[in-house]
Structures are given as structure tokens and as C-alpha cells.
A and B are shown apart, each in its own frame.
Chain A
Amino acid sequence: MLETIWFVLWGVLWTVYFVLDGFDLGLGTLMPFLAKTDDERRIIFNAQGPFWDGNEVWLLTAGGATFAAFPRTYATMFSALYTPLMLLLFALILRGIAIEFRSKEDATWWRTTWDTCMIVGSFLPALLLGVAFANIFQGLPLDADGIMHGNLLTLLNPYGLLGGLLFVLLFLVHGGLWLAIKGDEVMRPRGARAARILWLPLLLVAVVFLIATAFATDLYSNLLRWPLLWVFPILAVLGLLGSRFFMAKQSYWKAWGASAATIAGATAFGVAGLYPRLLPSRLDPAFSLTAFNSASSTLTLKIMLGVALFFVPVVLIYQFWVYRTFAQPLRLEDLERPEAY
């Protein structure tokens, strides 16, 4: 039971991470297409200004929770995915530093360099996380000792790449909608337009992904066993349709909320389909790491559950307060403030 609760919590942490950091990563990836002048780029940076750091901690927490609750999964997942994980880390390092350093010098080469770090540092994590999760959905070539038989290219199979593409598109739409909320006069319509244009490709890729999932993975078998779990894919689909509906009505907060529901529904669908496996093995189902065979001791799970049940809601409350406090759209004048990025 405790293991199952932790499995759910594990899914919740990843879900919150994708919903929150998703728009940051989307914004950075959209930058070369939407922002030409220096001011326009700075709007992209400042639109994530007060939020990105707090958002990224959800990734750290998801990683930390895996370590604490499912140490063997943490050990195997991170060492088996060594190269993609290192790429992810370097991308996030350069991205974070780009935000802080970019506007601290005026030289064009300086700013272009950090802009490139922002773009690559946003696109690469979106892609890698999608590729990694799609590969986890279909199982990794793990042997009995948790050693992976394959390399980076093994992960770049068609279904893995489809997952990467899905994540990138999800985050692009999510980021475009955020810009439609938080950008200045010039950038808000551009963000909205990008979201509208990218919505159709997202819909197509999402449909293809849902179909391919039936062939490449066994995620649906849990849904057939427990029909209640269908709420997750349905939530994702409704969110996707809803986001287009609200885009047409130019209610961008609602459209962003619907896009968040799409990301949450999609992640929850994948995690629910995996249960109780955290890291399925493609070589032999018996080698899979599950919430049961990789869990920490009961005492640790109990203590950590107490910690999570207290702190996660507290964090959500104060982060919600931060979003409310800094919800106003940017103005061009805001870029002149000393604290602006």
C-alpha cells in the first residue's frame, strides 16, 4: 500500500514538473521564431523571470523522491540513461546561467551566445525528457543486474523519437500560451499565434502517439483492467480540445490551464499505464524494477510520506501565491528596471 502511495506521488511530482517547467522550456525553444530584436528576446527571458527557478526544483524533487523512495530504480535509471541525463544536466546548467548572465553585458556576441544557450538549453531537455519517458513506457533493454544493453542510439528508436516530438510540441504550445499571458503588447499576440499554429501538429502527433502506444507498449492493459484510469487520456484529449477552444475566444489563462491539463493527463496516463513498474525491462518482464521490488524500507517510506504530505501542499500554496503576485503582463518599460534579465 505504502509503495503504491509512493508510486502515485512519484507520478504527481513528474506531472507538476512537466506542467510548470514545460512552459519555460517551450518559451526558450520558441525564442528564435518569435523574437528578433534584443527587447523582444528580453521579454522571453523576463516572462519566465520570477518562475523558472522554482519550477526547475520540481525536477530535482522528482529525482530526489526517486532516490529516497525507490533507490534501486534511481540507481538503475540514472546510470542506464547516463549520456542523455548528462546532456540534460548540461543543457539545464547553460539555460539557468543564460537567464542570469545574458543582460549583464551589452556586447552582441555575449548576448547571442547566451541566447543560443537558452534555445538549446530549452529544446534539448524537452526532447530528451520525451525520448526518455517514451523509452521507459516501452521498456529499456535492462538485464537482471540493471545493466543497460544499448546506448544513446538505442533510445532514438521511432517510438522514442515520437515521444520526444510530442513533448516538444506540448511544451511549445504551453510556452506560446504563457507568452500570450505574460508577454508585452508586441509579444502577446505572437505567442498566441504560435500556439494556434502549433496546435494542429500537436493534435496530429498526439493522436499518432496514442495509437502507436497501443502497439509499442502495454500501457493500455492497466486501463482495461481498471477502467477508471481512462480519465487520464480523456483529460489529455479534453484539455487539448479545450485549449484550442479558449484560444479562439482569446481567453489565454483558460487556454493555458487546458494545456496544463493536457500535459498532466498525458503524464498521468503514462504513469498509470506503467503501474506498478517504474522501469520495465524489455529483455524479460522479471527484470523490471517496480514500486515493490525497488522500494525503500517501510520506515523510510513512512517518514518521507509525512515530509511529502506536509511540504508539497505548502510549496504549491506559496508558488501559487508567487504566480498570482507576478501575473501581470510585462510592459516594455519593465525591461529598464535594474532587476530585469
Chain B
Amino acid sequence: MDVLHLSRLQFAVSTYFHFLFVPLTLGLSILVAVMETIYVRRGDEEYKRMTKFWGKLFLINFAIGVVTGITLEFQFGTNWSRYSAFVGDIFGSLLAIEATATFFLESTFIAVWVFGWERLSKRAHLTAIWLVAIASNMSAFWIIVANAWMQSPVGYVIRNGRAELTDFMAVITQRFAILEFLHTVGGAYILAGFFVLGISSWHLLRRQNVSFFSKSFRVAAAFTLIFSIFELLQGHMNAEILGTKQPAKLAAMESQWETQNGASINLIQWPDAANERNSIQTLSIPKMLSLLAHYNPDAEVKGLKAYPRDQRPPVLVSFLSFRIMVGLVFVFIALSGWAWLKHSAPEKQSFLLRLLVWTIPLPYLACELGWTLAEVGRQPWIVYRIMRTSDAVSPIATSQVAISVAAFIVVYTLLGVVDFYLLFKYARRGPADMPAPAGGR
């Protein structure tokens, strides 16, 4: 492999890995903040214990999210220096704002929250976790705005051999960015919701700390259902905007080869990229794709053949990641809806509880597939229609990158194993082993 492919592999490995931890941070920070808010308002000590238990899992997860984020920022310079020089004016600024405005807040106040239980007033302590929750989510906003600019570049002009900013507000308020942000945090909240539901279910199945975990279950059930439904509706808007902004990605994820008026959706199909067709294609819903993409059953949908081969994204990967992601959202709605219906006495629903335990990994899969579609579907471009990925890579020695890729794979695999081991350990231990809430610390 050359520097380009090694660098792509390295970026993929480090991004996938980073995003195993980020969504839980985004969602669980809010859930923990909600629990502590209930504790401060009602004075119910059980909510304090919940805050601490879920907070502990939050911290184990948070640490890896933070340190693996740093590598991503620096990799733009190390492996994608031509890209960095070309887009730094815009993309670099967004990353710098993220660090200055939000990452500082998050990293500083997480420590205040961890170490401040006795040193701060209840309200000041509650403020700390809300600052962490808001800052992490705002952090996601800036990162997504930066990514959205790669997907749909706006507010710039090509001058002095690079993209220069002309309209900052256009960059941070473009519809594409707002939709992508909502979609990303929506997915993160679903993931955090099922995380809490799943671990609560595990304990409820064993009749351990029933009151504690029923309350956790209740807090998470409504939250998860709301965002699962939200994600479906919002996801539709995300797909629809591709029709105008990235039609090649839309064509690839639907495996639509011909440009058609009144294009249909095939419930079952399988792309055959070599022969530019679908080898299987059945159970069609006529005109559905045109309707969904353009709100007009007879509208034209661009097919992949409208693009030269070297401007098409990989079809099979785009198609599969999209299909599976959408399928999973329906599973999430069904399961969270069921959980919500039974939230008054979840401990009696042993089948549901067992299902929920096994659901924990599915939102992780959905989130990673979403990023796969976003990034692979944008290829061969690094900045859509402006810069090719192959023109973006650093002029560096292959051996250097080969060693660092190997190091990333080894170190990250070990860290992942250790982190999930600790999450399991502390999740299974439950709150019982934790010191008694009042004065026993």
C-alpha cells in the first residue's frame, strides 16, 4: 500500500475508534445531568447514587474519547498536509474554535464535577455537569460544521491556490451542517439511551437494586423513544438534502444506476458495480425515491451512470451502510417504544429485558455505519467536487505511515479491550458496592 491508502486506513481506524466513545459521552452526559437535576430538585438520594453510578461509567468512556480526539486533530497535519494547507483557512478555524470555546470547558469542568462533590454547593456541582453536557454537544457542533463543509463547501472562494473564507455565517448556518449535527447527536442520544436501558435490564433480570434500575430505566425509556422517532424523521431530511447537495452519494446509497423520472425504491436489491446494474432488484415501491428525495413522485433522480466512473463513490459500501442503518432505526423505535410502554414496571418483562441487553451494541453499529456512509459516500472527494482525496495526502515516506498505522491498530485494540472490560466490570457491579450515599463516603 502507498502513503495514500495507508493514511486512509489510519484515519479510518482512528475515527471509527474515536467514535466508539464519543456518542456515549454526548448522550450520557445529558442523562447524568438530568439524574443529578432530579436529585437536586427532589433531594431523593437514590438519584444521587444513580448520578454517581452512571457517572462512573461515563468517566471510563470519556477518557478514551478525549485522548483519541487529539490524534484526529493532529492527523490532518501529519497525513493530510496538502489538504490542511488548502482548507486551513476555513476548516482549521472551525477546529480551533472547537478547542477554545468548548473543549476547554468540557475538560476543565469534568474535573470540577469529579472532584467537587464535597467542595462545591449542590447547585454549583450540578452546574458543572450541565456545562460538561452542553460543552460536549457544542464541541460536536463545531466538528460537524467542519465535516459538513467538506461535504457541502459554502462561503468560500478559491484564491491564492487555496479555499479562503468569504462568509463565516454561511459556513456555520448552512442547512447541511445543521441537519448533519442533529442527525449525529440524535444517534448519540439513542446510543446512550440503549446503553442505560440495556445495563438496567441486565440488573432487573437478576432482581438486583430493582428500584434503582427501574428509575434509571424510566429516565432512559422516554429519552430513547423520542430520539429514535426523531432520528427517523430527521434522517429523511438528511437523505433528501443529498438529492441537491451530493446526488452521487444518494445514487450510491440507493444503488440507483439510471437517471429516472419517478424512480422507485426496491426493498430487496443488491448492487453489481462491475456491470453497472443491480443483480437483484425486487419488491419495488414505484416512484417512492423521487417522492422522498424531491417531494414529487415524478421528479428526476440522478443515477450513478450520470457520473464518470472515477467520480462515483464505492457503491456496495454506501448501499449497505445506508440500508442497515435505516433498518436499525426501525428496530430502535420498536424496542424503545416497547420499553416506554412497560416503563412503570419493567422488571416483569423478562423477554423485553433480555432483548434490551443484547441491543446495546446495535446503536454503536448504526453510528459507525452512518459515518461510513458520510465519508465513503463522499469519495473520491475529500472536499466535495473541489479536492480529491488522492491530492490531499502528505508528501511523506511510506515506511513512517506503515509503522504508525500498525501502532494505531495495536494500541487501539488493546485500549478498546481494556476499556470495554472496565465498562463491563463496573456496569455489572452495580451501585451496591458503592459506598452508602449519605455521609458514608
B422 near A: Cβ within 8 Å? yes
Please, what's the 1-or-0 string for A293-305, where 1 marks a CB less than 8 Å from any CB in chain B?
Answer: 0001101100110
Contact partner of B74 among A85, A299, A308, A311, CB < 8 A?
A85
Contact between chains at B95 and A96 (CB < 8 Å): no
- Bound together, the chains give a CA A37 to CA B236 distance in angstroms of 58
Residue on A nearest B94 in the bound complex, by CB: A68
Query: B63-71, B250-258, B363-371: which one contacts chain A?
Result: B63-71
Query: B78-86, B180-188, B238-246, B298-306: which one contacts chain A?
Result: B78-86
- Bound together, the chains give a CA A67 to CA B402 distance in angstroms of 25
| Given A60-B99, A67-B95, A339-B115, A319-B400 contact (CB < 8 Å) | no
A215 near B: Cβ within 8 Å? no
Contact between chains at A51 and B78 (CB < 8 Å): no
Residue on B nearest A51 in the bound complex, by CB: B111
Please, what's the 1-or-0 string for A125-152, where 1 marks a CB less than 8 Å from any CB in chain B?
Answer: 0000000000000000000011100010
| Given A61-B104, A97-B415, A322-B165 contact (CB < 8 Å) | no
| Given A67-B96, A92-B67, A60-B89 contact (CB < 8 Å) | no
Contact between chains at A79 and B101 (CB < 8 Å): no
**Residues on the A chain within 8 Å of B435, using CB:** 338
Contact partner of B93 among A59, A82, A300, A315, CB < 8 A?
A300
Please, what's the 1-or-0 string for A49-77, where 1 marks a CB less than 8 Å from any CB in chain B?
Answer: 11101101101110111011111101111
Shortest Cβ distance from B60 into chain A, in angstroms? Answer: 7
**Residues on the A chain within 8 Å of B233, using CB:** none
Contact between chains at A53 and B66 (CB < 8 Å): yes
Shortest Cβ distance from B18 into chain A, in angstroms? Answer: 11
Contact partner of A299 among B166, B396, B400, CB < 8 A?
B166
A38 near B: Cβ within 8 Å? no
Please, what's the 1-or-0 string for B16-53, where 1 marks a CB less than 8 Å from any CB in chain A?
Answer: 00000000000000000000000000000000000010
Shortest Cβ distance from B208 into chain A, in angstroms? Answer: 19
- Bound together, the chains give a CA A69 to CA B162 distance in angstroms of 14
A228 near B: Cβ within 8 Å? no
Contact between chains at A64 and B168 (CB < 8 Å): no
Shortest Cβ distance from B94 into chain A, in angstroms? Answer: 8
A331 near B: Cβ within 8 Å? no
**Residues on the B chain within 8 Å of A315, using CB:** 100, 104-105, 108
B434 near A: Cβ within 8 Å? yes
B13 near A: Cβ within 8 Å? no
**Residues on the B chain within 8 Å of A76, using CB:** 81, 85
- Bound together, the chains give a CA A89 to CA B66 distance in angstroms of 12
Please, what's the 1-or-0 string for A20-58, where 1 marks a CB less than 8 Å from any CB in chain B?
Answer: 000000000000000000000000000001110110110
**Residues on the A chain within 8 Å of B52, using CB:** 338
- Bound together, the chains give a CA A319 to CA B103 distance in angstroms of 13
Contact between chains at B95 and A50 (CB < 8 Å): no
Contact between chains at A68 and B88 (CB < 8 Å): yes
Contact between chains at A67 and B76 (CB < 8 Å): yes
A residues 295-341 touching B (CB-CB < 8 Å): 296-297, 299-300, 303-304, 307-308, 311-312, 315, 318-319, 322, 325-326, 337-339
B residues 407-421 touching A (CB-CB < 8 Å): 407, 411, 415, 418-419
B276 near A: Cβ within 8 Å? no
Shortest Cβ distance from B19 into chain A, in angstroms? Answer: 16
Interface centre among B60, B77, B79, B411 (most CB of A within 10 A): B77
**Residues on the A chain within 8 Å of B293, using CB:** none
- Bound together, the chains give a CA A82 to CA B395 distance in angstroms of 11
Q: Is the interface of A mostly helix, strand, loop or mixed?
A: helix
- Bound together, the chains give a CA A296 to CA B109 distance in angstroms of 32
- Bound together, the chains give a CA A200 to CA B109 distance in angstroms of 38
- Bound together, the chains give a CA A71 to CA B100 distance in angstroms of 17
Q: Interface range on chain A: under 10, 10 to 19, 20 to 34, or 35 or more?
A: 35 or more
B116 near A: Cβ within 8 Å? yes
B394 near A: Cβ within 8 Å? yes
**Residues on the A chain within 8 Å of B434, using CB:** 338
Shortest Cβ distance from B158 into chain A, in angstroms? Answer: 12
Residue on B nearest A334 in the bound complex, by CB: B115
Contact between chains at A74 and B96 (CB < 8 Å): no
Q: Is the interface of B mostly helix, strand, loop or mixed?
A: helix
- Bound together, the chains give a CA A147 to CA B129 distance in angstroms of 45
**Residues on the B chain within 8 Å of A56, using CB:** 70, 107
- Bound together, the chains give a CA A304 to CA B89 distance in angstroms of 10
| Given A60-B70, A92-B67, A304-B93, A67-B107 contact (CB < 8 Å) | no
Interface centre among B68, B87, B165, B397 (most CB of A within 10 A): B165
Contact between chains at B92 and A85 (CB < 8 Å): no
B345 near A: Cβ within 8 Å? no
- Bound together, the chains give a CA A304 to CA B52 distance in angstroms of 38
| Given A50-B114, A67-B88, A303-B168 contact (CB < 8 Å) | yes
Residue on A nearest B97 in the bound complex, by CB: A307
Interface centre among B85, B99, B415 (most CB of A within 10 A): B99
- Bound together, the chains give a CA A325 to CA B114 distance in angstroms of 13
| Given A297-B89, A337-B441, A86-B78 contact (CB < 8 Å) | yes
**Residues on the A chain within 8 Å of B116, using CB:** 325
Contact between chains at B411 and A90 (CB < 8 Å): yes
Shortest Cβ distance from B438 into chain A, in angstroms? Answer: 14
Residue on A nearest B166 in the bound complex, by CB: A299
**Residues on the A chain within 8 Å of B77, using CB:** 63, 67, 74-75, 77-79, 85
Residue on B nearest A95 in the bound complex, by CB: B67
**Residues on the A chain within 8 Å of B165, using CB:** 296-297, 299-300, 303
Shortest Cβ distance from A46 into chain B, in angstroms? Answer: 9
Shortest Cβ distance from B408 into chain A, in angstroms? Answer: 9
| Given A71-B92, A75-B85, A297-B165, A63-B74 contact (CB < 8 Å) | yes
Contact partner of A82 among B86, B88, B400, B411, CB < 8 A?
B400
**Residues on the B chain within 8 Å of A151, using CB:** 397
Shortest Cβ distance from B111 into chain A, in angstroms? Answer: 4
**Residues on the A chain within 8 Å of B95, using CB:** 64, 67-68
Contact partner of A89 among B71, B84, B119, CB < 8 A?
B71
A284 near B: Cβ within 8 Å? no
Shortest Cβ distance from A102 into chain B, in angstroms? Answer: 11
| Given A57-B99, A79-B81, 19 new contacts (CB under 8 A) | A49-B115, A50-B115, A53-B110, A57-B104, A64-B95, A69-B96, A72-B85, A79-B395, A82-B394, A85-B77, A86-B400, A86-B407, A89-B74, A92-B67, A99-B63, A146-B81, A299-B164, A325-B112, A325-B119
16 A-B pairs with CB atoms under 8 Å apart are: A50-B111, A60-B73, A60-B99, A67-B96, A71-B92, A71-B162, A75-B88, A85-B77, A94-B411, A100-B59, A101-B60, A101-B422, A297-B159, A297-B165, A303-B168, A304-B97
- Show the binding face of B for A, using Cβ within 8 Å: 52, 56, 59-60, 63-64, 66-68, 70-71, 73-74, 76-79, 81-82, 84-93, 95-101, 103-105, 107-112, 114-117, 119-120, 159, 162, 164-166, 168, 394-397, 400-401, 403-404, 407, 411, 415, 418-419, 422, 425-426, 434-435, 441
Listed from nearest, the 8 A-B pairs whose CB atoms lie closest are A71-B88, A78-B77, A67-B92, A64-B96, A100-B63, A75-B81, A68-B96, A79-B81
